[in-house]
Amino acid sequence: MEPVKLGLLGLGTVGCGTVNMLHRAGVEIERRAGRPIVVSRAAARDLSKPRDCDTSGIALTDKPMEIIEDPEIEVIVELIGGYDDAYELVMAALRNGKHVITANKAMIAKYGNEIFAEAEKQGVTVAFEAAVAGGIPIIKAIRESLVGNHIQWFAGIVNGTANYILTQMRDEGRDFQEALDEAQRLGYAEADPTFDVEGIDAAHKLTILAAISFGIPLQFDRVYTEGISNIGREDIQYAEELGYSIKHLAIGQISEEGIELRVHPTLVPHRRLMANVGGVMNAVMVYGDAVGRTMYYGAGAGAEPTASAVMGDILDVVRSLGAKAVHRVPYLGFQLNQLSDAPVLPMEAIETAYYLRMEVSDSPGVMAAVTQILAELNISIEALLQKVPEPDQDTVPIIMLTHRIRERQMNEALHRMGQLEAVRGKITRIRLEYFDD
Ligand code: NDP
Ligand code: HSE
């Protein structure tokens, strides 16, 4: 049978991972697909660069539009990344009637609604398994395997770089920048690593997970996003002493009030599997009303794990070539005209527990003043840790954990405590989730 010809845009970490995988597993993939699959053309910016894959037999260009306009190419695999060029190229590919596979969560989170509308118009597929949690087939699990469930919430470690940094800081005592440099060297980080450390990449992935879990449009600009750059080694250490790990989580939850979409560092009790997901590994916990709690774990970044997800999409797309659009899985798991308009809740309305750390003057009555504010606001304390002052210091750190309250109550408490003369500097607030329901 004639081979399916792929046009590959991007020959970086994931692009080369995909080429290597096709070389290595090509025969087996042909046995699965029923016909050979080849990368016949590929585009990169700088053709003189050495590559981590064998590109012999692939026609290379630095003009990706040539590939998009090539009538022999049926499927475009977009592995360039970023919002702009990638979006223009993908839209052009769809208008040319090509199926598209992408690992680009930034593009899907920001422009997915337009991309899917165009794909539907053209009767072609857009597949994006590698866009969330690297090698974990989480999109397929939620979109296809859990369809009998009403998904009530999910929570995940979905950025490998951030998890790698937090793990290195905790286990190896490395500093933030050193761990980030290493993640970049290993090919985990985004082209702009602030996307990883400021939570933007996790927010892209949360946007996609929320859409396929709750049947809502992609709403990246409604996600509350906080990164890990303000997490100090002392917070990691105090959290550990209290029996928690600090994880960077993406959390989506639906209730009658609306939908929570939030990304932030979170204390997780040591007894939870999630607290034990280390290094570049990702994990997503999904709660469905029928199945209860399920959890998916695996490598969240890197050439081969991500290529593994891209390859799954390639096979799905090749198997469905020639099928009527109505027989394909909808892009977001729900028909585009059936998406719900459930409101996204403001952060003030969410309910969670909190870790607080503050430096206070080492004088009588300070603790009473702090706890009085909490009592007035009906906030009860779960645990309290007061450290011995360092020699020559006139302040002491106080660390406390609260029970679950509304964020608006905590904002008021932080405001009032911040006005106490005895409280020095900014109070650190980290949210805490038990995952016990
Ligand atoms: P890289 O930066 O390693 O590779 C990007 C590739 O795209 C390079 O080959 C670059 O060319 C090429 N490129 C960039 N702009 C253009 C352009 N305008 N025209 C033609 N080629 C272009 O990125 P990654 O492989 O790490 O990431 C690719 C995508 O996969 C991104 O969307 C990323 O978010 C996603 N992803 C990455 C993961 C990872 O672990 N790295 C995991 C999951 C998803 P040149 O080499 O010549 O500069
Ligand atoms: N930079 C991303 C991460 C790549 O570290 O998770 C995988 O999407």
The ranges of the chain annotated as CATH 3.30.360.10 are 138-298
In the block, residue with structure tokens 């199926």: 99
Q: In Å, what is the CA distance from 376 to each residue of 211, 230, 314, 315, 371?
A: 39, 29, 58, 60, 9
Residue 14 Cα, ligand 1 centroid: separation in angstroms?
7
Sort 401 into a burial class: Cβ within 10 Å, 0-12 / 13-18 / 19+: buried
The ranges of the chain annotated as CATH 3.30.70.260 are 347-432
Residue 254 Cβ contacting ligand 1 at under 6 Å: no
CB atoms within 10 A of CB 344: 17
Q: Give the three-state DSSP class for 437.
A: coil
| Amino acid, single-letter form, for residue 82 | G
In the block, residue with structure tokens 């994990």: 283
How far is it, in rounded angstroms, from Cα 120 to Cα 256?
Answer: 31
- 429, 355 contact by CB (below 8 A): yes
Percent of the chain with pLDDT over 90: 95
Q: Tens of pLDDT along 198-219? A: 999 999 999 999 999 999 999 9
Residue 331 Cα, ligand 2 centroid: separation in angstroms?
22
Q: 4-136+304-338 belongs to which homologous superfamily?
A: NAD(P)-binding Rossmann-like Domain (3.40.50.720)
Residue 193 Cβ contacting ligand 2 at under 6 Å: no
How far is it, in rounded angstroms, from Cα 283 to Cα 297?
Answer: 4
Best residue for ligand 1 mutational test, from 60, 67, 126, 306 (most atoms within 8 Å of Cβ): 306
**What is the rounded radius of gyration, in angstroms, for the C-alpha atoms of the chain?**
24
Whether the model clears a pTM of 0.85, i.e. scores above it, the answer is yes
On the question of pLDDT at 437 being above 70, the answer is no
User: Which residues, at least 6 apart from 292, have a Cβ–Cβ distance to it below 8 Å?
Assistant: none
The ranges of the chain annotated as CATH 3.40.50.720 are 4-136+304-338
**Record: fold of 347-432:** Alpha-Beta Plaits (3.30.70)
Q: Tens of pLDDT along 240-268? A: 999 999 999 999 999 999 999 999 999 99
Best residue for ligand 2 mutational test, from 161, 185, 228 (most atoms within 8 Å of Cβ): 161
Please state whether beta strands 151-157 and 281-288 pair in parallel, antiparallel, or not at all (unpaired). Answer: antiparallel
Residue 420 Cα, ligand 2 centroid: separation in angstroms?
41
Residue 45 Cα, ligand 1 centroid: separation in angstroms?
10
Nearest to 393 by CA among 360, 425, 366: 360
On the question of pLDDT at 193 being above 70, the answer is yes
The C-alpha angle with vertex 289 and arms to 335 and 436, in degrees rounded to 5, equals 130
Domain 138-298 bears CATH identifier 3.30.360.10: yes
Residue 104 Cβ contacting ligand 1 at under 6 Å: yes
Task: For residue 257, report the phi and psi dihedrals to the nearest 5 degrees.
Answer: -70, -30
Q: Tens of pLDDT along 413-429? A: 999 999 999 999 999 99
Residue 161 Cβ contacting ligand 2 at under 6 Å: yes
On the question of pLDDT at 364 being above 70, the answer is yes
Q: Which atom of ligand 1 is nearest to the CA of 303?
A: 40
Q: Considering 105, 110, 140, 205, which one is annotated as catalytic?
A: 205
| 324 classed as catalytic | no
